[in-house]
């Protein structure tokens, strides 16, 4: 599996991270990783847990994975990955699983592997456990704005707060706090020796348009490249023009298209 993800270690960072973390044990995955073989060689895979993620999927593998997923009741909250693969899977799965809550067919995959293009915000730093009370409301606000539902829905507050605390403890949470209030934040969602992926970028609504996102992401990228992995990636919705432009100003370049189906 690691040989497979190494074919494109930046695009496949999530699958590689999960593979290394769980060693493909279904108990730790909360699901399975499916392999597609040709002549005894693993040529494609699919992470099937809370996220359904095709990996280096050939057209034949995409069809096989969609057929296998469609034979089961839906267990994933999202289908996400390279746009061509996700869209092909969804064409087969939509008649079986019914309509998605949201379909985002064009998301820009971006990465940076050199110095930031602008001076990083010196006020952005790793968060600590002392920041949790200030950070948690910003995380809830970001999630609700991005996903369309609150992570606290259905009694999920304790679990989500634990997730935020876990990211802090791993050194994967970054923020700028002005007078004790989070005005910018971002987290690392997955990391391998080759790359890491940023998620959860948020600027307080009353501070938007002031350049905090670009300078903040420059700071996060510099810290992450120096201390976590040599390449930093993310993906952003094509309709979020402000975010895309902020990442470009920070030095990220668009390298491909992702797609996400949300349930």
Task: Flag whether 83 is in a domain.
Answer: yes
Q: Are residues 134 and 225 in the same domain?
A: yes
- Is 127 within 8 Å of 174 (Cβ atoms)? yes
Task: Flag whether 116 is in a domain.
Answer: no
- Is 231 within 8 Å of 195 (Cβ atoms)? yes
Task: Flag whether 45 is in a domain.
Answer: yes
Q: What region, left, alpha or beta, does residue 24 occupy, with left being phi > 0 and alpha being psi -120 to 50 degrees?
A: left
Percent of the chain with pLDDT over 90: 99
Instruction: Tell me the per-residue pLDDT of 94-116, one tens digit each, with 9 for 90 and over.
Output: 999 999 999 999 999 999 999 99
Q: Are residues 129 and 92 in the same domain?
A: no
Model-wide pTM > 0.85? yes
Q: Are residues 160 and 235 in the same domain?
A: yes
pLDDT band for position 203 (50/70/90)?
very high
Task: Flag whether 250 is in a domain.
Answer: yes
CATH number for the domain including 195? 3.40.630.30
* Mean pLDDT of the residues in the chain: 97
Residue 237 has a pLDDT of 97
Q: Which of 99, 134, 156 is the last residue before a domain boundary?
A: 99
Place of tokens 């510099």: 222
| Enclosing domain of residue 87 | 2-99
Task: Flag whether 34 is in a domain.
Answer: yes
Q: Are residues 25 and 86 in the same domain?
A: yes
Instruction: Tell me the per-residue pLDDT of 219-239, one tens digit each, with 9 for 90 and over.
Output: 999 999 999 999 999 999 999
The residues, ordered by sequence, that sit 6+ positions from 113 with a Cβ below 8 Å of its Cβ are 225, 230, 231, 232
- Mean predicted confidence (pLDDT) in 124-144: 98
Q: Are residues 151 and 248 in the same domain?
A: yes
Q: Are residues 242 and 141 in the same domain?
A: yes
Provide the number of structural domains found in the chain.
Answer: 2
Strands 253-262 and 78-82, sheet pairing: antiparallel
pLDDT band for position 217 (50/70/90)?
very high
Q: Are residues 154 and 227 in the same domain?
A: yes
Residue 228 has a pLDDT of 98
Round to whole Å and give the CA distance between 226 and 214: 18
Q: Are residues 142 and 88 in the same domain?
A: no
Q: Are residues 187 and 134 in the same domain?
A: yes
Task: Flag whether 32 is in a domain.
Answer: yes
- Mean predicted confidence (pLDDT) in 7-36: 97
Please give the structure tokens belonging to residue 51.
């996220």
Q: Which of 40, 64, 99 is the last residue before a domain boundary?
A: 99
- Mean predicted confidence (pLDDT) in 155-161: 95
Q: Which of 47, 81, 99 is the last residue before a domain boundary?
A: 99
Residue 84 has a pLDDT of 98
Q: Are residues 60 and 169 in the same domain?
A: no
Place of tokens 């979020």: 240
Task: Flag whether 39 is in a domain.
Answer: yes
Q: Are residues 222 and 140 in the same domain?
A: yes
Instruction: Tell me the per-residue pLDDT of 39-73, one tens digit each, with 9 for 90 and over.
Output: 999 999 999 999 999 999 999 999 999 999 999 99
Residue 201 has a pLDDT of 98
Residue 159 has a pLDDT of 96
Q: Are residues 152 and 39 in the same domain?
A: no
Task: Flag whether 108 is in a domain.
Answer: no
Please give the structure tokens belonging to residue 166.
């876990």
């Amino acid at each position: 599996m690691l040989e497979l993800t190494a074919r494109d270690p930046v695009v496949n960072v999530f699958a590689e991270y999960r593979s290394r973390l769980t060693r493909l044990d279904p108990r730790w995955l909360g699901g399975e990783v499916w392999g597609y073989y040709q002549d005894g060689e693993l040529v494609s895979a699919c992470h099937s847990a809370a996220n359904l993620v095709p990996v280096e999927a050939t057209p034949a593998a995409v069809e096989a994975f969609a057929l296998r997923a469609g034979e089961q009741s839906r267990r994933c909250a999202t289908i996400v990955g390279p746009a061509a693969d996700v869209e092909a899977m969804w064409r087969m799965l939509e008649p079986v699983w019914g309509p998605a809550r949201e379909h985002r067919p064009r998301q820009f995959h971006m990465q940076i592997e050199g110095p930031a293009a602008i001076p990083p915000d010196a006020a952005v730093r790793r968060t600590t456990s002392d920041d949790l009370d200030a950070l948690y409301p910003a995380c809830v606000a970001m999630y609700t704005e991005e996903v369309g539902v609150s992570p606290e829905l259905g009694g999920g507050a304790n679990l989500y707060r634990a997730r935020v605390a876990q990211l802090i403890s791993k050194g994967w949470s970054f923020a700028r706090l002005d007078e004790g209030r989070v005005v910018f934040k971002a987290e690392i969602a997955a990391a391998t020796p080759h790359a890491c992926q940023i998620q959860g970028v948020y600027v307080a609504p009353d501070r938007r348009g002031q350049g905090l996102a670009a300078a903040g992401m420059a700071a996060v990228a510099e810290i992450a490249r120096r201390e976590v992995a040599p390449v930093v990636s993310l993906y952003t919705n094509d309709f979020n023009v402000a975010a895309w432009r902020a990442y470009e100003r920070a030095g990220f370049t668009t390298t491909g298209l992702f797609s996400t189906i949300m349930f």
